[in-house]
């Protein structure tokens, strides 16, 4: 589970078993005994509690919006105000209250209840959408008030469907409405979950609990036939819980959150875990935090006035040789400088941040982060990587011998069997298969060795004459070029590049072999095709680098796969016509990338003007020769 989900789960636990659960539990414990004394009194108190919570939530959201700028809370709080107003009317017309004239049964309060719960469900469904938009408070309260007033007028007009019939209980409209309201609440929960990354995880957890409590309340209200019954009791208790957790969300993030931030800001300096000091433009310490004083084992008085070099930096370096002090005197900031402590036992990463008054530099904040463990881990990791690479190289080398013996033994069997091999196609096929796989394993192990060694120079770093290198390489590849009827055009006067010659040779050889291997099918016929395989090599010098391009008119590589082919053991397959990888090991272009990137360069694939593709690689070139 990711960190966001873990925060939500932790919030749910704290709400259900933590301090946030104390107030609603106390309310439940007080209201349940009250219901046995007088259900009408219980109902009135329960509704008043909900109304007070809703009104308080509105007051908090409305008056804190100026600095919280949280449209989610404003939309929710404003909606609760009008829900509370309808709940108040529901309480006044409840059966037995005898306050509102002309009300003698439970139908009107039940109608108000159903309408209010519809509005509550719609409010919770809409709040994730409106909660990320700029809201105008005046228009928001007028719009929501207008909707509440319209619903109230609809009910009072007599056109609103009946919800309760004396002696029979709930009408089908009321029961179906409760289930529809539950469905809307479920959709509201899913909507909130879908947009959860836009809101604080603790607030999402609080609203989620409110939605669940409201769903339980609505389900309870589908069962009662007596407005003074048990299911009515349960429904009102869970309604209070639903309102309460919305109120907690509003108070927590509109009031408590900002005040916690202000309190935290006042103590942040001493709360910084890294040793931090404020120095003036001369490098003298003016203030220290608790972590710095603990590290130096000095008091604030003993630190202030001393030069930071005498307290923080390596003692074997003078101020003139200290890289941190030089940055201080030069006014350099934002750099991360790694230095040893005074005793040479620990490593610190020093970060300097400016302290200014207007445009005048007043000093710097000097933060020292202990990176000793990271340094040790990096050293250990480098050692482990070296050992692992050595192990892989030795393993690949030693595995070559079994592959050679396997191929040799297949040849030996072929010679022993003589003509019998030709008489038995299955034996011939099996021996040829063994021979092919053994040689494939040899090629694979050879390329693995090359890949492991690709990032290390294999000769002296020199300025290589690329035209001369290609002349020798193409002479060596002449049999393969003739086999594929390939023509290679090398532009004259290619720019020279600073690299060891063996690795540059391997780059060009691998790219050319790939071009031959992935030639168009017509290029691989024994008879010369009308259009031979055409390969063009050219290069150009840039300000600080040299770029070479090898283009062909082969099958090309789709844009989707151009990054994938540089991965180790990646061999592209064609469509139903069969393989297009030509039997390669899938390491060639990975070797090219490893060589180029070890030189600080980059390699990629582009479309070719000739119809195939172009392999382009660029290598930094500090040598200022001509090309």
CATH number, domain with residue 285: 3.30.450.20
Mark whether 133 and 60 lie in a shared domain: yes
Band of pLDDT at residue 327, cut at 50, 70 and 90: confident
Query: What's the whole-number mean pLDDT along residues 261-265?
Result: 47
pLDDT for position 520? 58
Mark whether 380 and 491 lie in a shared domain: no
Band of pLDDT at residue 151, cut at 50, 70 and 90: very high
pLDDT at residue 450 greater than cutoff 90: no
Q: Tell whether 268 is covered by a domain.
A: no
Q: Tell whether 266 is covered by a domain.
A: no
Domain final position from 353, 370, 387: 370
Of 233, 247, 245, which is closest to residue 16 (Cα–Cα)? Answer: 245
pLDDT at residue 340 greater than cutoff 60: yes
Task: For residue 97, give every residue at least 6 positions away whose Cβ sits within 8 Å of its Cβ, in sequence order, or none.
Answer: 40, 44, 91
Least confident stretch, 445-454, 473-482, 536-545, 552-561 = 445-454
Query: What's the whole-number mean pLDDT along residues 463-484?
Result: 90
Domain final position from 229, 261, 293: 261
Euclidean distance between CA atoms 568 and 451, whole angstroms: 9
DSSP letter assigned to residue 284:
B
pLDDT in tens, 75-101: 888 998 999 899 899 888 887 787 877
Q: What angle do CA 102, 103, 106 make, to 5 degrees?
A: 165
pLDDT for position 422? 67
Mark whether 468 and 440 lie in a shared domain: no
Full domain range(s) for residue 185: 3-261
Comparison of pLDDT for 143 and 447, the residue scoring more = 143
The C-alpha torsion from 372 through 373 and 374 to 380, rounded to 10°, is 110
Mark whether 381 and 339 lie in a shared domain: no
Residues listed for the chain: 627
Q: CATH number for the domain including 147?
A: 1.20.1070
DSSP 511-575: HHHHHHHT--GGGGSSSPPSS-EEEEEEEEE-SSEEEEEEEE-SS---GGGTTGGGSTT---B-S
What angle separates helix 71-92 from helix 137-156, to the nearest 10 degrees? 30
Comparison of pLDDT for 388 and 42, the residue scoring more = 42
Band of pLDDT at residue 388, cut at 50, 70 and 90: low
Task: For residue 188, give every residue at least 6 positions away whose Cβ sits within 8 Å of its Cβ, in sequence order, or none.
Answer: 121, 124, 125, 127, 211
Calculate the CA 285 to chain-centre distance: 40
Mark whether 225 and 280 lie in a shared domain: no
Domain final position from 408, 429, 453: 453
Mark whether 449 and 462 lie in a shared domain: no
**Strongest mean pLDDT among 101-115, 355-369, 558-572:** 101-115
Q: CATH number for the domain including 551?
A: 3.30.565.10
Mark whether 445 and 495 lie in a shared domain: no
pLDDT at residue 275 greater than cutoff 80: yes
pLDDT for position 615? 93
pLDDT at residue 11 greater than cutoff 60: no
pLDDT at residue 617 greater than cutoff 90: yes
Mark whether 157 and 111 lie in a shared domain: yes
pLDDT for position 384? 67
Domain count, the chain: 4
Task: For residue 565, give every residue at least 6 positions away whose Cβ sits within 8 Å of its Cβ, in sequence order, or none.
Answer: 557, 572, 589, 605
Least confident stretch, 119-128, 507-516, 517-526 = 517-526
Band of pLDDT at residue 214, cut at 50, 70 and 90: confident
Mark whether 485 and 610 lie in a shared domain: yes
pLDDT in tens, 520-545: 555 555 455 446 788 999 999 988 89
pLDDT averaged over the chain?
Answer: 77
Band of pLDDT at residue 490, cut at 50, 70 and 90: very high
> What stretches of 397-514 adopt beta strand conformation (E)?
461-464, 486-490, 497-500
* Sign of the dihedral defined by the CA atoms of residues 113, 116, 122, 127, in that order: negative
pLDDT for position 576? 32
pLDDT at residue 20 greater than cutoff 70: no
Mark whether 447 and 460 lie in a shared domain: no
pLDDT for position 267? 53
Q: What percent of the chain has pLDDT over 90?
A: 14
pLDDT at residue 302 greater than cutoff 70: yes
pLDDT for position 495? 92
Comparison of pLDDT for 393 and 627, the residue scoring more = 393
pLDDT at residue 607 greater than cutoff 70: yes
Of 78, 89, 20, 26, which is closest to residue 54 (Cα–Cα)? Answer: 78
Comparison of pLDDT for 546 and 531, the residue scoring more = 546
Band of pLDDT at residue 8, cut at 50, 70 and 90: very low
Contact 593, 603 (CB under 8 A): yes
Mark whether 431 and 349 lie in a shared domain: no
Mark whether 152 and 247 lie in a shared domain: yes
Q: Tell whether 84 is covered by a domain.
A: yes
Comparison of pLDDT for 19 and 365, the residue scoring more = 365
pLDDT for position 577? 32
Q: Tell whether 627 is covered by a domain.
A: no
Q: Tell whether 269 is covered by a domain.
A: no
Q: Tell whether 360 is covered by a domain.
A: yes
């Amino acid at each position: 589970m990711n960190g966001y989900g873990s925060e939500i789960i932790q919030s749910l636990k704290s709400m259900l078993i933590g301090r946030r659960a104390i107030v609603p539990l106390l309310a439940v414990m007080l209201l349940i005994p009250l219901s046995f004394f007088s259900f009408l009194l219980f109902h009135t108190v329960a509704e008043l509690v909900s109304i007070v919570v809703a009104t308080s939530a509105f007051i908090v959201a409305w008056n804190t919006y100026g600095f919280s700028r949280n449209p989610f809370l404003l939309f929710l709080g404003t909606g609760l105000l009008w829900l509370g107003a309808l709940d108040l009317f529901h309480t006044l017309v409840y059966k037995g209250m005898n306050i509102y004239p002309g009300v003698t049964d439970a139908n009107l309060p039940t109608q108000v209840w159903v309408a209010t719960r519809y509005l509550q469900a719609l409010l919770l469904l809409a709040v994730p959408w409106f909660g990320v938009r700029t809201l105008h408070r005046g228009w928001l309260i007028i719009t929501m008030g207008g909707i509440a007033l319209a619903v109230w007028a609809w009910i009072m007009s007599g056109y609103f469907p009946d919800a309760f019939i004396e002696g029979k209980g709930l009408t089908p409209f009321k029961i179906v409405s409760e289930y529809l309201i539950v469905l809307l609440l479920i959709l509201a929960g899913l909507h909130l979950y879908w947009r959860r990354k836009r809101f604080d995880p603790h607030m999402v957890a609080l609203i989620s609990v409110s939605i669940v409590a409201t769903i339980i309340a609505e389900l309870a209200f589908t069962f009662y036939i007596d407005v003074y019954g048990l299911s009515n009791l349960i429904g009102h208790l869970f309604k209070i819980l639903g309102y309460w957790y919305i109120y907690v969300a509003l108070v927590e993030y509109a009031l408590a959150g900002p005040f916690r931030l202000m309190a935290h800001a006042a103590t942040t300096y001493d709360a910084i875990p890294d040793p931090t000091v404020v120095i003036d433009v001369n490098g003298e310490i003016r203030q220290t935090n608790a972590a710095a004083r603990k590290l130096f084992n000095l008091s604030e008085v003993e630190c202030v006035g001393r030069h930071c070099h005498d307290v923080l930096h390596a003692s074997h370096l003078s101020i003139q040789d200290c890289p941190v002090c030089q940055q201080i005197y030069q006014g350099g900031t934002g750099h991360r400088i790694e230095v040893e402590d005074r005793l040479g036992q620990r490593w610190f990463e020093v970060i300097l941040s400016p302290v200014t008054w207007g445009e005048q530099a007043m000093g710097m904040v000097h933060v020292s982060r202990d990176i000793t463990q990271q340094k040790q881990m990096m050293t250990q990791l480098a050692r482990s990587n070296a050992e692992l690479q050595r192990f892989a190289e030795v393993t690949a080398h030693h595995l070559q011998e079994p592959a050679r013996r396997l191929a040799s033994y297949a040849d030996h069997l072929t010679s022993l069997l003589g003509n019998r091999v030709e008489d038995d196609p299955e034996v011939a096929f099996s021996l040829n298969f063994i021979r092919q796989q053994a040689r494939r394993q040899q090629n694979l192990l050879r390329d693995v060795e090359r890949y492991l060694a690709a990032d290390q120079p294999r000769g002296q770093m020199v300025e290589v004459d690329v035209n001369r290198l290609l002349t020798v390489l193409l002479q060596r590849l002449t049999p393969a070029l003739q086999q594929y009827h390939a023509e290679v055009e090398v532009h004259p006067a290619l720019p020279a590049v600073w690299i060891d010659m063996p690795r540059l040779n391997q780059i060009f050889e691998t790219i050319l072999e790939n071009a031959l291997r992935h030639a168009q099918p017509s290029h691989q016929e024994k008879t010369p095709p009308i259009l031979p395989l055409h390969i063009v090599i050219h290069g150009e010098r840039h300000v600080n680098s040299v770029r070479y391009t090898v283009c062909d008119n082969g099958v090309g590589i789709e844009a989707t796969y151009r990054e994938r082919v540089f991965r180790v053991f990646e061999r592209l397959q064609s469509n139903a016509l069969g393989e297009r990888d030509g039997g390669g090991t899938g390491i060639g272009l990975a070797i090219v990338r490893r060589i180029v990137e070890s030189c600080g360069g980059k390699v990629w694939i582009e479309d070719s003007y000739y119809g195939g593709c172009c392999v382009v690689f660029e290598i930094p070139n500090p040598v200022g020769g001509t090309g």
